[in-house]
Amino acid sequence: MKKIFALVLAALMLLALAACGRQDTTSPTGQADPNAATQATLDPSGTAPAFDMQTSEDKRIVNIGTVDKTLYAAPILVTSFGQSTDASTIDTALKRVGGTYSYLPQVAADAVGSYKTMIICVGASTKGLGQAGIDEKDEVARAEAIMAKAKETGAQVIFVHIGGETRRGALSDQLADLVLPQCSYMIVKEDANWDYKFTKYAEEHSLPLTLIFGQKDTVQVMSDLFSK
């Protein structure tokens, strides 16, 4: 009798678990960013692939090559390719150093003709594209048109990639590859360089490159670049 009773109780416990034991996996922030999810698989543990970082907590900024600051005349445009928050970080950094510039993350190609310097912040974000109401194809088309305009006007292009490793998805790389051939200076948060993509490119094309350890270092880099 006792055995039967115990069996019934155990069966009831199992049923209770099946009915109520669901772990909720919905984030209070809503849907996960599919772009970020795929990017997270690049290095889920933070240990691989191992690469030699030149920057560190103690040496936060590493300059490779010499930047000709005289190239970067006003008017200056800050825009985003991929609509991540990185352009907004540059906007905030420039505000802190008292820069004069236009911050237009979704600017159209026909509105960039007058700018002599374009700071292009590359980093694709599904959430950012959604917020802006732009789909991926349109963003790539906008980027291509802006780069064509920059070629036509001779505007100087500064390539900025400060989203780190999580902004190295397929779309981010596609957008980066549009900008790199026309840029004269690169600023990269170094954990994005895990496959040496940016250091190799700078070396092969003799481009000055600044590696930074964290996003806060953009304040110092912008100050160095635009201070008189």
Asked if residue 75 lies in contact with residue 156, where contact means CB atoms within 8 angstroms, the answer is: no
Asked if residue 208 lies in contact with residue 186, where contact means CB atoms within 8 angstroms, the answer is: yes
168 forms part of the interface with other proteins (CB under 8 A) = no
Task: Point out which residues pair with 210 in neighbouring strands.
Answer: 63, 187
Binding mask 89-108 for other proteins (x = CB under 8 A): x-xxx-xx------x-----
User: Which residues have C-beta within 8 Å of that of residue 40, sequence separation ≥ 6?
Assistant: 166
Which tokens go with 88?
């907004």
**Residue whose tokens read 């900008």:** 179
User: Which residues have C-beta within 8 Å of that of residue 106, sequence separation ≥ 6?
Assistant: 79, 80, 83, 132, 134, 142
User: Using CB under 8 A, which of the segments 69-77, 186-194, 201-209, 213-221 binds other proteins?
Assistant: 213-221
Residues of span 8-37 touching other proteins by CB under 8 A: 16-17, 20-33, 36-37
Closest CA to 222 of 72, 59, 79: 72
In whole angstroms, the minimum distance from the beta carbon of 122 to other proteins comes to 16
Q: Tell me which of 54, 215, 220, 223 binds other proteins, using CB under 8 A.
A: 215
Binding mask 40-69 for other proteins (x = CB under 8 A): x---xxxxx---------------------
Residue 110's SS3 state is: helix
Q: Tell me which of 128, 157, 191, 202 binds other proteins, using CB under 8 A.
A: 128
In whole angstroms, the minimum distance from the beta carbon of 88 to other proteins comes to 4
What residue ranges bind other proteins (CB under 8 A)?
16-17, 20-33, 36-37, 40, 44-48, 83, 85, 88-89, 91-93, 95-96, 103, 125, 127-128, 130-131, 133, 214-216, 219
